[in-house]
Copies of this chain bind each other. A is one copy, B any other.
Amino acid sequence: MRTSVLMFLMLAPVSLFAGELPNLPSSGELNLMPWPSRCTVGSGQLLVTGSFSAALTGYKEARLEKGVQRFFRDLSRQTGIVFSSQLAEPEKATLIVHTEGPSKEIQEPGEDESYSLEVAPSGAKLSAPNPLGVLHGLQTLLQLVEPTRAGFAAPVISIQDAPRFPWRGLMVDVGRHFIPLDVLRRNLDGMAALKLNVFHWHLSEDQGFRVESKKFPRLHEMGSDGSFYTQDEIREFIAYARDRGIRVVPEFDMPGHTTAWLVGYPQLAAAPGPYNVERKWGVFDPAMDPTRDSVYKFLDDFIGEMSQLFPDPYFHVGGDEVNGKQWSRNSSIHQFMVQHNLRSSQELQAYFTGRIQKIVSNHAKVMVGWDEILVPGMPQDIVIQSWRGTDALASAVEQGHFGLLSNGYYLDLMWSAFRHYAVDPLPKEAGGLTTEEKAKILGGEATMWNEYASPENFDSRVWPRLAPIAERLWSAADVRDVQAMYGRLSKISWRLETLGLTHNSSYEPMLKRIAPTADVAPLRILADVVEPVKEYQREELAKAVPTSLSPLNRLVDAVHPESDVARRFSTQVDHLIAGGCKDAVERERIRNQLVIWQNNAANLQPLINNSSLLQEVSSISQNLSRVGALGLQALDYIEQSQRPADSWKNDRVSELEKMEQPSSAQLLLMVIEPVQRLVDASATVCGGTS
């Protein structure tokens, strides 16, 4: 099986339409994400009414029927129109769905996911070589339906579409915080809407082992605090994913990040134990002992059990962040290293990886791992998932392996959608790679490490920022207009809510909890313009050591990773300054906003006085008001055609700079920077002559 998968991968073109220039999206146009390979818009539209019906022609299977039923359910959620859930005869159907043949029984990367969609005023036709393309095409049609003056309708359009990369994934860490299946299922729905096709399930961590093992029950019994998935649940989840064209790749991280395994099975460790489930975050010493055959026997049995449970041809063994301390302190390990001529913990890990690879391979799976598993002697078919970056990725494919990019797609680092959107698994600079090497870069995966995500705010940490990453992995490389992306993203974001995701709707309930009052408006005004600190600053700024038991109920846990209000304000300021500050309407809009901010601290203070969760935001609330006041001063100078003294400008700019330093509230005030530009402009390009 392994060979056939990979042969197919090698032969699959990077894009079915490579070489043709794709249409590029522009702002305010079609609401499609990811943008399709080719689309031609005609005139007129197909009205969507309660009589809209669908028929299947060609190859048929249950997954297609279920896909069409979901299409109607989602179309109904999206429009509020009730449809018959029964399939129609082809001659009577509004939508013909034609499938040429089956896809693989067990979904594989590199299968043909293309489809074509023709929408005319009288009906639509969706055609695809196999069910995978049909599922994608149905999502495209859902996105095309919008409210218009005449009612809900899809525009007349012709679309031919296929993905740029065959592996488009989301990794979810359920070790650090357990995420229940209902939350994961709605995220699969969101993934399917964005044409993502790999759910990478990071199932074991120092902080939790999350899968029922029948062979080694102390893994989940002692390593999970009671929060794990049963094997029946996992089988159901995989079927749910397959129905949506999504593969489920399990990851069991080893030999490090394994504390939770060692609670029940300390004999696997390189030091005696006993072990407890880890509560803190970071890289810890516990690691498996790579020198004992009993460890490999255990892992062979365990991987055998899990290989049966997870049908995907790939099996992820982690391999990241082993600090080697337990190994270097253990004299028998030291002796083993001398005997085997292993000169460092890296070389010892390479030995471990080599043996694990053989075990994985014996269970008919292809091994996937993080950068660390890339060591000499590995077979070509392994897949390197790079947290290090595109250089490491290039090096992997140059050595003949396959590669996946995750560096730049870490959702937990709280980057903007824009920043993720710019990251490309195959950037223009990768020109040095041969065509064959490029084809070995299979795509990428967004990663969601769950130090600071709970079932409540998980969705808002993932969405909507996952959508532009999905577009990067599906659409042509030159689909990269940022304004157009944001325009489409805001619509997609709300549409995802109708699928059951809660990234927008969880916001107000969390604010209502933080501020026990009927009217949270002042808190919302502040919350709308702050973002959580970026990268790993949250750890650095923490007052107390954060653990897996720390409440995730603070403002930093509730606010969106990216502030739409601040981004729009910043665009308005740019626009104003670009026009020499002459646009009175824009000035008025900015002034209204600044006045609200200036007044907000006074309104928010009574709420702060009343809630322990708000004490920490007192100073950032004051800062917002001060930012509003300074912006208004700058605007006054501009409107009165006065040029402020340079000293005023310099003092204000440095005052604002100081406010950019985050405190233990771990929040960034995102409107400082545009106000700095306004202050600067008042004394320069927009300054009067006084």
Residues of A within 8 A of B (CB): 50, 76-82, 84-86, 146-152, 177, 225-227, 454-456, 490-491, 494, 497-498, 502, 504-506, 508-510, 512-516, 518, 548-554, 557, 609-613
Contacts and interface: CB of A to CB of B under 8 A. Distances in A.
20 contacts: A50-B551, A79-B513, A80-B454, A80-B551, A82-B454, A82-B549, A82-B550, A82-B551, A82-B552, A85-B225, A85-B226, A86-B225, A147-B611, A147-B612, A150-B612, A494-B509, A494-B512, A494-B513, A504-B509, A505-B506
B513 A508 contact: no
Contacts of A177: 82
Contact of A508 (B77, B81, B505): B505
A273 to B, nearest CB: 21
A151 B612 contact: yes
Contact of A147 (B50, B148, B508, B516): B516
A80 B50 contact: no
A77 B510 CA distance: 9
Nearest to A149: B612
A97 to B, nearest CB: 18
Given A147-B514, A226-B85, A497-B509, A50 B612 contact: no
A80 B518 contact: no
Contacts of A506: 505
Given A82-B552, A149-B611, A505-B508, 20 more contacts: A79-B553, A80-B454, A80-B551, A80-B557, A82-B548, A82-B550, A84-B549, A86-B226, A148-B516, A148-B611, A148-B612, A149-B609, A149-B610, A490-B518, A494-B509, A494-B512, A498-B509, A502-B505, A504-B508, A505-B509
Contacts of A509: 494, 497-498, 504-505
A557 B77 CA distance: 13
Contacts of A554: 80
A491 B553 CA distance: 17
Nearest to A613: B147
A516 B553 contact: no
Copy number in the complex reads 2
Main secondary structure of the interface of A (DSSP, over half): loop
A149 B613 CA distance: 8
A117 B149 CA distance: 58
Nearest to A510: B80
A456 to B, nearest CB: 6
Contact of A80 (B85, B86, B225, B552): B552
Contacts of A148: 516, 611-612
B550 A50 contact: yes
A4 to B, nearest CB: 38
Nearest to A493: B512
A421 to B, nearest CB: 19
Contacts of A548: 82
Contacts of A146: 516
Contacts of A550: 50, 82
A82 B491 CA distance: 33
Nearest to A615: B149
A345 B513 CA distance: 57
Contact of A553 (B81, B505, B518, B613): B81
B84 A225 contact: yes
A502 B321 CA distance: 42
A121 B124 CA distance: 67
A149 B79 CA distance: 44
Contacts of A551: 50, 79-82
